[in-house]
């Protein structure tokens, strides 16, 4: 099956360069509804669903292939090859930021720049590395997902979203999480939260913007600074936002930060 069908690829906008937007865990391409359209007057835009999410082909979900983030990175490279796009600007949220970084290492000529939104190479604290969670906390989270995925989704969505002045966004996230196939979501969560790609960061050759909310329950600020130190040719921009989804709750600020980065990087 072509990746355009498997990954529910949708193309919009018009312009000499292409921006590809990739969503995080438990979400789908609709999470870009406030940010991607802001670029459509200047860029061709691409949104898609990771296999196992949203409108993707759920039958294509292979636990062996997607037992690591590299399976998704392979999909991304395949999609860009099929669409004959590139080099593209890649904007990835959360786990998709690492997927994009891995893909850019695999096929650097396909990428012109990358934006890592709320990204983490490793969620587990390790010696002097602050990932945000102890291994026991991650194990507890995964156990809760196994026993009560829907309950976890409805309880945690508002906390992860943050944005206390926009409570409707927490409800939107809870709805997105609840629409996922629970078995796939549990497997994807395990792959996401136990991944460790710290050793891959130095292999990146594509200019990167690390875009981070000032307060993020999922990814603490220390992680953003770690990325900035270890990803070559990277810059760090803090968004005055509470929550893990600044592209939804602070889209105007994200637009300004990305525009500034692209003006500096592409000129």
User: How many C-beta atoms lie closer than 10 Å to residue 205's C-beta?
Assistant: 12
Alpha carbon 178 to its chain's center:
18
Distance CA(89)–CA(17), nearest Å, equals: 8
Burial class (CB in 10 A: 0-12, 13-18, 19+), 196: middle
Residues 6+ apart with CB under 8 A from 140: none
Cα–Cα distance list, 39 to 20, 31, 135, 224, 250 (Å): 11, 15, 39, 25, 15
* C-alpha closest to that of 238 among 222, 229, 248: 222
Which residues have a catalytic role annotated?
94, 216, 244
Find, among 34, 38, 39, the residue nearest to 15 by Cα: 39
- Residues in the chain, total: 267
Asked if 96 and 23 touch (Cβ cutoff 8 Å), the reply is: yes
């Amino acid at each position: 099956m072509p990746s355009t069908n498997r990954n529910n690829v949708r193309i919009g906008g018009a312009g000499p360069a292409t921006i590809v937007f990739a969503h995080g865990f438990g979400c789908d391409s609709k999470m870009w509804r406030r940010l991607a359209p802001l670029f459509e007057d200047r860029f061709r835009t691409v949104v898609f669903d990771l296999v196992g999410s949203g409108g993707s082909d759920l039958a294509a979900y292979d636990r062996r292939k997607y037992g690591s983030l590299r399976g998704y990175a392979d999909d991304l490279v395949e999609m860009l090859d099929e669409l004959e796009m590139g080099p593209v600007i890649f904007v990835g949220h959360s786990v998709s930021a690492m997927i994009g970084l891995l893909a850019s290492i695999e096929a650097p000529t396909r990428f012109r720049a990358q934006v890592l939104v709320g990204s983490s190479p490793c969620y587990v604290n390790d010696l002097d590395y602050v990932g945000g969670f102890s291994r026991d906390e991650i194990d507890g989270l995964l156990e809760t997902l196994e026993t009560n995925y829907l309950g976890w989704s409805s309880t945690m969505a508002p906390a992860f979203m943050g944005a206390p002045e926009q409570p409707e966004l927490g409800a939107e996230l809870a709805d997105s999480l609840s629409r996922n196939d629970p078995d796939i979501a549990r497997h994807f969560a395990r792959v996401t939260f136990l991944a460790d790609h710290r050793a891959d960061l130095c292999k990146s050759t594509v200019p990167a913007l690390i875009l981070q909310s000032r307060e993020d329950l999922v990814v603490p600020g220390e992680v953003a600074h770690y990325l900035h130190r270890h990803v070559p040719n990277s810059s760090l921009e803090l968004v005055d936002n509470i929550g893990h989804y600044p592209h939804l709750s602070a889209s105007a600020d994200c637009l300004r930060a990305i525009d500034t980065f692209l003006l500096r990087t592409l000129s």
